[in-house]
């Protein structure tokens, strides 16, 4: 396994890059790729920057130039449903490009010539991410996030959700917009700007992928308030602990299968 880890914003990935053992940096196409070992997993970390094209390019290069076999996207997102709160975690089971519309030639949301609007993420990666996120909330959350940040952002009992994530080249910061997306896409849990682009690339190249997002805002008029503070003091810490637990889980599964093959 060679794991590619993508985030959109620098603050989201800093801790992971610092934790990397034997880091080796390579700059290509205006991005810095850092390869090394993360908790015993061979990994490459990179910032995609924001938006679908940026994410698609980054995912393609991770596969074609860096030989990754699995891709993980960690980042923040706006809530797509009133039941999803700031500080909750959403693991994508499927992803849709919510701004794709080639109707009437193709149904709204369908990516032309793929026959698909919803791209399913890898089941095992989604399960591992879900377990790692739950583990984080149950064990590390209380120490990892400052009491002041928990109070200021109203983080009481964050939860993990699994389901549909929508991506588009728009920061959704308008109540009517998020409500109409929710109506058009039943089960929509979160909106962001990269995940579904990575999903399409991975689908086309036959690479496994998972997407995990910490909810930073309600995708309404208040969405941009304190956004960067949340990313730095809350979401970056979530990403660090969840990816650490994810790598440990994957590592022990690899070890267990080696052990059973050896006996
Ligand atoms: N204020 C930031 C811009 C962040 S853009 C800056 O100045 O750099 C938003 C990023 O967070 C994107 O990478 C996107 O994936 C995610 N995101 C968080 N909330 C979002 C929302 N409400 N709508 C769309 N994307 C959102």
50 CA closest ligand 1 atom index: 13
194 CA closest ligand 1 atom index: 15
Distance in Å, CA 10 to ligand 1 centroid:
12
Probe ligand 1: pick from 10, 78, 218, 239, max atoms within 8 Å of CB? 78
Probe ligand 1: pick from 46, 76, 178, 188, max atoms within 8 Å of CB? 76
Establish whether residue 11 lines the binding site of ligand 1, counting it when its CB lies within 6 angstroms of any ligand atom. Answer: no
227 CA closest ligand 1 atom index: 1
Distance in Å, CA 46 to ligand 1 centroid:
17
Establish whether residue 50 lines the binding site of ligand 1, counting it when its CB lies within 6 angstroms of any ligand atom. Answer: yes
Residues 6+ apart with CB under 8 A from 125: 70, 72, 208, 209, 210
The position carrying tokens 């058009």 is: 184
Residue 179 — pLDDT band, cuts 50, 70, 90? very high
Establish whether residue 110 lines the binding site of ligand 1, counting it when its CB lies within 6 angstroms of any ligand atom. Answer: no
Residue 263 — pLDDT band, cuts 50, 70, 90? low
Mean pLDDT of the chain: 96
Distance in Å, CA 169 to ligand 1 centroid:
10
Establish whether residue 194 lines the binding site of ligand 1, counting it when its CB lies within 6 angstroms of any ligand atom. Answer: yes
Distance in Å, CA 54 to ligand 1 centroid:
13
- Mean pLDDT score, 231-259: 95
Residue 224 — pLDDT band, cuts 50, 70, 90? confident
Residue 222 — pLDDT band, cuts 50, 70, 90? confident
Instruction: Kindly report, residue by residue over 65-121, the tens digit of the pLDDT.
Output: 999 999 999 999 999 999 999 999 999 999 999 999 999 999 999 999 999 999 999
The answer to whether the beta carbons of residues 13 and 47 sit under 8 Å apart is: yes
Residues 198 and 95: their CA atoms lie apart, in Å, by 9
Distance in Å, CA 190 to ligand 1 centroid:
12
Distance in Å, CA 219 to ligand 1 centroid:
9
Establish whether residue 243 lines the binding site of ligand 1, counting it when its CB lies within 6 angstroms of any ligand atom. Answer: no
Beta strand residue intervals within the chain, DSSP E: 3-7, 21-28, 31-38, 41-47, 70-79, 89-97, 118-120, 160-167, 188-192, 208-217
Alpha helices in 20-170 (DSSP H): 52-64, 123-135, 141-144, 147-152
pLDDT, residue 249, reads 97
223 CA closest ligand 1 atom index: 22
């Amino acid at each position: 396994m060679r794991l590619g880890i993508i985030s959109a914003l620098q603050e989201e990935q800093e801790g992971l890059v610092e934790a990397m053992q034997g880091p080796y940096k390579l700059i290509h196409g205006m991005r810095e790729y850092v390869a090394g070992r993360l908790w015993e997993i061979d990994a490459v970390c990179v910032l995609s920057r924001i938006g679908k094209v940026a994410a698609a390019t980054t995912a393609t290069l991770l596969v074609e130039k860096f030989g990754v076999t699995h891709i993980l996207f960690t980042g923040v997102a706006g809530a797509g449903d009133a039941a999803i709160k700031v500080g909750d975690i959403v693991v994508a089971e499927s992803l849709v490009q919510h701004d794709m519309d080639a109707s009437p030639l193709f149904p709204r949301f369908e990516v032309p010539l793929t026959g698909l609007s919803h791209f399913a993420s890898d089941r095992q990666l989604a399960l591992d991410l879900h377990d790692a996120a739950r583990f984080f909330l149950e064990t590390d959350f209380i120490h990892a996030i400052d009491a002041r940040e928990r109070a200021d952002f109203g983080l009481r009992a964050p939860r993990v959700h699994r389901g549909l994530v929508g991506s588009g080249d728009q920061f959704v910061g308008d109540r009517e917009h998020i409500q109409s997306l929710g109506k058009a896409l039943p089960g929509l849990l979160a909106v962001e700007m990269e995940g579904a682009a990575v999903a399409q690339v991975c689908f086309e190249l036959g690479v496994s992928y998972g997407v995990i997002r910490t909810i930073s805002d309600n995708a309404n008029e208040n969405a941009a308030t304190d956004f960067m503070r949340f990313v730095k003091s809350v979401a970056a810490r979530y990403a660090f602990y969840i990816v650490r637990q994810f790598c440990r889980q994957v590592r022990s599964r690899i070890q267990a299968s080696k052990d059973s093959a050896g006996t």
